[in-house]
Amino acid sequence: MRQTDALVLLSTLAHTSAVVSAQSLPRGVGPEFAKFYEPKAATFTCIGNPSIVLKSSQINDNSCDCSDGSDEPGTAACSYLDPLSPEQPLQGSVTGTTNITSALPGFWCTNEGHIGSYVPFTYVNDGVCDYDLCCDGSEEFAHVGGVKCENRCKAIGKEWRRLEDERKKSKERSAEQRRALVKESRELRQKVESKIASLKQEIKELEVKKIDLQRKFEEVERSERGKVIKDEGGQGGKLGVLLSLAKNRVKELRDTLDKVLDQRDDLQDRVDQLEDILTKLRTEYNPNFNDEGVKAAVKAAEDYAASTASGAKSEEIADADIMKVLEEDGEASGINWAEFTEGDSASDADVVYNLEAYLPGFVRDYIHDKLNLVRIWMIENGILADNPTSGHESRLVTAARELLDSAKNDFSSRTSQLEEQEKDLDKDYGPDDIFRALKGKCVSSDVGEYEYELCWIDRTMQKSKKGHGNTNMGNFKGIDFEEADEEERADGKGLGKGQRMVLRYTDGQGCWNGPNRRTDVWLACAEKDELWRVSESEKCVYKMEVGTPAACDDVHEPGVRTKDEL
Ligand code: MAN
């Protein structure tokens, strides 16, 4: 019988034994059967078969008289009925074997100073001291083969109580650890919840901001598109138009002047040629010929020569001056157009804003709104030119677009953060959300040529100590429960018996010619996180046995309130 079970039995029996004193009972009777063995009665009724009534003296007479063995609680006479014994041939039985079970669980060792316990009837007087069950040695009362089992209950009981005390304290410490984990998990959960609340609020505000910026962007874009022309440099508005016109006009005039100058030079050449002809006519004609036509022509030529000599000429412009005018405009001469076209000169809107600056705010807004509305109305009704394809985007539109884009980015990043947090809140972190506090923390242990590592709610890893790299043994999938059936270990570092939490890690690194690696992480209660064992039951299928306070029951002394509860 395991010690823990025996302890339970002990407490149950303590009550019964108060009614019937153990001393007055026949040998081997456990306290819960005391009621069947009346100390002063003359007869005994078989427990499982009341039709058989024996004399009291037949109890423990080493002869099995009751079919359920209840008349031999203190001998091995009915041990063939013991559940642990092999089936025995029995006279009169149809099957030829016994299938009757014993009414008694075994030989009761009182174990004074320790805890009482049953030993199988087959152990009674078998010449072996079974101290682990019967520390008082009472099951070897016949001293078969001279065996004498001394009573060791004092020492065994003392050691047992020490271990039991330690185990209890460890359990309490583990439970304390667990409570701390639960508290931490609760706080982490609250953090996620408040993060979700603030993200929701932020998203709500960003939604409004986004709509507002979208409206503003469209408004600015439409109002910018409403500007009639854009010059080469991309300047908009009336000033831009004026600038463009002036620049073109100056170019036209300069080109015309250039052409006029060429024409003048041609004409001058021709005048010079004609003057030469006239001079020749005046000086070389024969006055002896009385030709009236020639005389008149000579007279006109002389008058022309006299008039040019008298200097009645219009003011002459120096060629150098004309050439200066014809020079391309630049920083050194003329107008520096670049300053106007590329510089930070004001747009229509800027001018309007400058004027508005002298007005009270509400009037300014009112005028601005009205101007915009009128402009947009004019564009939409085909009165003002819509100029969507011209030039590059204005600074106002760019700024509005950038603000809108940044709000959109903020909105989508916050939305995905919210989704992530909500997913995390819904995730199964085990009973009491306990693995939330452990998430991302790791435990490891050296086994053979590898170091194995478990990272809670994340992954399991096999790390080569010979420098052959790390192998992922699975990624966290979910939490299950399975029945463990292992013997209790002396150091307590084992799964034992009962339902245990099992964390599934799947889809690890592919196995050579096989499936992806996976790990089942079996958990048992312990004071601290510890990776006890790793085994590979089949190729690339691993089992980790891990101790952790997260797997403990929340036990605390009755009546003792924990800090959390206060
Ligand atoms: C490595 C380790 C082993 C595994 C084999 C499979 O050696 O990951 O655990 O069994 O690969 O080939």
pLDDT tens per residue, range 466-519? 999 999 999 999 999 999 999 989 888 999 999 999 999 999 999 998 899 999
**Beta bridge partner(s), residue 435:** none
Which residue type, as a one-letter code, is found at position 199?
L
Which of the pair, 83 or 346, is modelled with greater confidence?
83
Q: Whose CA is nearest to atom 3 of ligand 1?
A: 540
Say which residue the tokens 């399975």 belong to.
Answer: 482
Rg of the chain in Å (alpha carbons)? 57
Question: Does residue 546 carry a pLDDT above 90?
Answer: yes
Closest-lying ligand 1 atom to the alpha carbon of residue 513? 12
Residue 283, pLDDT score: 86
pLDDT tens, residue by residue, 420-451: 999 999 999 999 999 999 999 999 999 999 99
CA 534 to ligand 1 center in whole angstroms:
13
Rounded Cα distance, 463 and 467, in Å:
8
Q: How confident is the model at residue 281 (pLDDT cuts 50, 70, 90)?
A: confident
Which residue type, as a one-letter code, is found at position 242?
L
Closest CA to 340 of 233, 471, 182: 233
Rounded Cα distance, 453 and 466, in Å:
16
376 by DSSP, 3-state: which? Answer: helix
Phi, psi of 171 (to 5 degrees): -65, -40
Closest-lying ligand 1 atom to the alpha carbon of residue 517? 8
| Antiparallel, parallel or unpaired: β 541-548 and 43-45 | unpaired
Q: How confident is the model at residue 319 (pLDDT cuts 50, 70, 90)?
A: confident
Q: Which two tokens stand for residue 267?
A: 């004409």
Question: Does residue 157 carry a pLDDT above 70?
Answer: yes
Question: Does residue 133 carry a pLDDT above 70?
Answer: yes
| Antiparallel, parallel or unpaired: β 497-506 and 470-485 | antiparallel
Which of the pair, 3 or 44, is modelled with greater confidence?
44
Q: How confident is the model at residue 206 (pLDDT cuts 50, 70, 90)?
A: very high
Q: Does the Cβ of 519 fall within 6 Å of ligand 1?
A: no
Closest CA to 1 of 88, 75, 109, 81: 109
| Cβ–Cβ < 8 Å for 28, 74 | yes
Residue 341, pLDDT score: 57
Q: Does the Cβ of 473 fall within 6 Å of ligand 1?
A: no
Q: What is the mean pLDDT of the chain?
A: 83
Rounded Cα distance, 115 and 108, in Å:
11
Percent of residues, the chain, with pLDDT higher than 70: 77
Q: Give all strands of the β-sheet with 497-506 in edge-to-edge order.
A: 442-447, 450-455, 459-464, 470-485, 497-506, 518-525, 541-548, 530-538
Backbone torsion region of residue 147, taken as left when φ is above 0, otherwise alpha when ψ lies between -120 and 50, otherwise beta: beta
CA 450 to chain centre: 29
CA 243 to ligand 1 center in whole angstroms:
80
Closest-lying ligand 1 atom to the alpha carbon of residue 536? 9
Q: Whose CA is nearest to atom 12 of ligand 1?
A: 512
Closest-lying ligand 1 atom to the alpha carbon of residue 471? 8
CA 512 to ligand 1 center in whole angstroms:
8
Phi, psi of 206 (to 5 degrees): -65, -35
Q: How confident is the model at residue 240 (pLDDT cuts 50, 70, 90)?
A: low
Rounded Cα distance, 228 and 238, in Å:
8
- How buried is residue 69: exposed, middle or buried, by Cβ count under 10 Å (0-12/13-18/19+)? buried
Residue 322, pLDDT score: 77
**Beta bridge partner(s), residue 452:** 445, 462
Q: Does the Cβ of 98 fall within 6 Å of ligand 1?
A: no
Rounded Cα distance, 547 and 445, in Å:
12
Q: Which two tokens stand for residue 512?
A: 């050579």
Its sign, for the CA torsion 195, 197, 203, 205, is negative
Question: Does residue 312 carry a pLDDT above 70?
Answer: no
Question: Does residue 193 carry a pLDDT above 80?
Answer: yes
| Antiparallel, parallel or unpaired: β 541-548 and 518-525 | parallel
Q: Which helix (H) or strand (E) covers residue 189, if one does?
A: helix 153-225
- What single DSSP character describes residue 124? T
Per 3-state DSSP, the chain is made up of helix, strand and coil in percentages (nearest 5) of 45, 15, 40
Q: Which two tokens stand for residue 181?
A: 């984990």
CA 118 to ligand 1 center in whole angstroms:
48
Phi, psi of 254 (to 5 degrees): -65, -40
Q: Which helix (H) or strand (E) covers residue 321, if one does?
A: helix 319-326
Residues contacting residue 422 through CB under 8 Å, at least 6 positions apart: 196
CA 44 to ligand 1 center in whole angstroms:
67
| Cβ–Cβ < 8 Å for 224, 235 | no
CA 540 to ligand 1 center in whole angstroms:
6
288 by DSSP, 3-state: which? Answer: coil
Rounded Cα distance, 167 and 159, in Å:
12
Question: Does residue 313 carry a pLDDT above 70?
Answer: no
> How many CB atoms lie under 10 A from the CB of residue 164?
15
Question: Does residue 560 carry a pLDDT above 60?
Answer: no
Q: Which two tokens stand for residue 525?
A: 């209660």
Q: Does the Cβ of 167 fall within 6 Å of ligand 1?
A: no
Which of the pair, 321 or 548, is modelled with greater confidence?
548
Helix axes 319-326, 237-284, angle to 10 degrees: 150
Q: Does the Cβ of 471 fall within 6 Å of ligand 1?
A: yes
- The CA-CA-CA angle for residues 547, 549, 553, to 5°, reads 110
Q: Does the Cβ of 516 fall within 6 Å of ligand 1?
A: no
- What single DSSP character describes residue 37? S
Whole-number Cα distances in Å, 449 to 110, 166, 460, 508, 559: 51, 35, 16, 19, 50
CA 499 to ligand 1 center in whole angstroms:
30
> How many CB atoms lie under 10 A from the CB of residue 123?
23
Ligand 1 site-directed mutation target among 472, 539, 542, most atoms within 8 Å of CB: 539
Q: Which two tokens stand for residue 485?
A: 């059936």
> How many CB atoms lie under 10 A from the CB of residue 286?
7
pTM exceeds cut of 0.85? no
Q: Which two tokens stand for residue 90?
A: 């029995």
Q: Does the Cβ of 451 fall within 6 Å of ligand 1?
A: no
Closest-lying ligand 1 atom to the alpha carbon of residue 509? 8
Q: Which two tokens stand for residue 134?
A: 């019967």
Q: Does the Cβ of 462 fall within 6 Å of ligand 1?
A: yes
Q: What is the widest separation between alpha-carbon atoms in the chain?
A: 203
- What single DSSP character describes residue 25? S
